[in-house]
Amino acid sequence: MKRQPKDDRQHMTPNNNDKPSEQPNLGATVDFLGSVVITLGFLIGTIGEGITLQESLEEKKSEKNSKNNQKLQLSQIEKKLDQVIKELEALKKRR
């Protein structure tokens, strides 16, 4: 006597007495995931803008330091020129 194979489909279909299984609403799930992706995009964009701003501030700071260094060098050159002029005037007086 052959045994009939057990039909698993009977267990997959809900009985009238069972509560209907709640399946997630696919549209709402996709909408939620889209919102998450958009939010992550905004977050990444904001981080990028922050990095750009930081680089810009560092560049301005570097330019300011460079200008200050140039002013210091110019001041030192002026002092040396003043010393040379004084020495030349002293040499002229000796003649």
- State the average pLDDT for the chain: 85
In eight-state DSSP terms, residue 22 is P
Give pLDDT, residue 8: 53
**Using CA atoms, how far apart are residues 29 and 25, in angstroms rounded to an integer?**
6
Give pLDDT, residue 94: 87
Question: In this model, does residue 14 exceed pLDDT 90?
Answer: no
- Give the pLDDT confidence of 57-80 residue by residue, as tens digits: 999 999 999 999 999 999 999 999
The domain locations on the chain are 26-94
Question: In this model, does residue 89 exceed pLDDT 60?
Answer: yes
* Exposure of 24 in the CB half-sphere (CA atoms within 13 A): 7
pTM as predicted: 0.52
| Percentage, residues of the chain above pLDDT 90 | 69
